[in-house]
Amino acid sequence: MIGFLTVGPVLLYFLVVGWRGSGLAVSDCFRPRTIRKPGEHTPRKVSMDFDLTEEQTMFQQMVREFAEKEIAPQAEELDEKGEFPYAVVAKMADLDLFGLPIPEEYGGSGADLVTYSIGVEEISRVSASLGITMAAHTSLGMMPIYLFGTEEQKRKWLPPLARGEKLGAFGLTEPEAGSDSGATKTTAVLKGDEWVINGSKEFITNSGTDITQHVTITAITGEKDGRKQISNIIVPKGTEGFTVGSPYRKMGWHSSDTHALSFSDCRVPKENLIGDEGTGFKQFMKVLDCGRIGVAALSVGTAQACFEESVKYAKSRVQFGRPIGKNQAISFKCADMLVEIELARTATRKAAWLADQGRPYSREAAIAKLFASESCMRIASDAVQIHGGYGYVEDYPVCRYFRDTKILEIGEGTSEVQRIVLSRGLGL
Catalytic residues: 412
Helix residue ranges, H only, 126-242: 128-135, 143-148, 151-162
C-beta of residue 407 within 8 angstroms of C-beta of residue 414 = no
Q: At what angle do helices 280-316 and 397-405 cross, to 10 degrees?
A: 160
C-beta of residue 104 within 8 angstroms of C-beta of residue 110 = yes
Residue 261 burial (CB < 10 Å; 0-12/13-18/19+)?
A: buried
CA distance 267 to 277: 17
- Dihedrals φ, ψ of 235, to 5°? -120, 110
- Dihedrals φ, ψ of 273, to 5°? -70, 135
Considering only CA atoms, which of 264, 258, 278, 248 is closest in space to residue 200? Answer: 264
CA distance 267 to 195: 5
CA distance 410 to 428: 23
C-beta of residue 79 within 8 angstroms of C-beta of residue 139 = no
DSSP 52: P
CA distance 183 to 204: 17
What lies within 8 Å, CB to CB, of 56 at 6+ separation is 114, 115, 118
C-beta of residue 323 within 8 angstroms of C-beta of residue 315 = yes
What lies within 8 Å, CB to CB, of 337 at 6+ separation is 303, 306, 307, 310, 379, 382, 383
DSSP 139: I
Q: At what angle do helices 113-124 and 128-135 cross, to 10 degrees?
A: 150
